[in-house]
Amino acid sequence: MADIRPKIGIQYRDHATIITFADEKILEETDIKALQEAIMSIVEKSERVNLVLDFGNVGFLSSAVLGLLIRASKKIYENDGQLRLCNINPKIYEVFKITRLTKTFDIYKDIESAVED
């Protein structure tokens, strides 16, 4: 049986769609393309999506993932939706700070606080 990647979980809670990344590393181009298809299909199917991306399991990601997040956020905000990130590894959070993406994205400590707001 083929190993389908990237591994994600999707749940719906309190008017939010939560995508949890199961893989520790999101580095491969094929994984990023599959991730883009998964995220964009959710974004395009809902008009005012409230999307929470849970990075709790992710220890490494490529810069292409940052580009994907920027494209997704643009599409979400164009449709009056919200994008929130949570459970970001401290090393990855440093990359967000250095690239000033902490000003672009709403970043929360955990799923509960991301869904609450």
For the cut 60, the answer to whether the pLDDT of residue 1 exceeds it is no
Is residue 35 within 8 A of residue 68, CB to CB? The reply is: yes
Task: For the chain, list the domains and their CATH numbers.
Answer: 8-116 (3.30.750.24)
d(CA 100, CA 3) in angstroms, rounded, equals 35
This prediction's pTM: 0.91
What six digits make up the tokens of 101? 């993406």
Is residue 76 within 8 A of residue 44, CB to CB? The reply is: no
Backbone dihedral angles phi then psi of residue 26, each to the nearest 5 degrees: -120, 90
For the cut 60, the answer to whether the pLDDT of residue 86 exceeds it is yes
Segment 14-44, tens digit of pLDDT: 789 999 999 899 988 888 998 999 999 999 8
How many residues make up the chain in this entry?
117
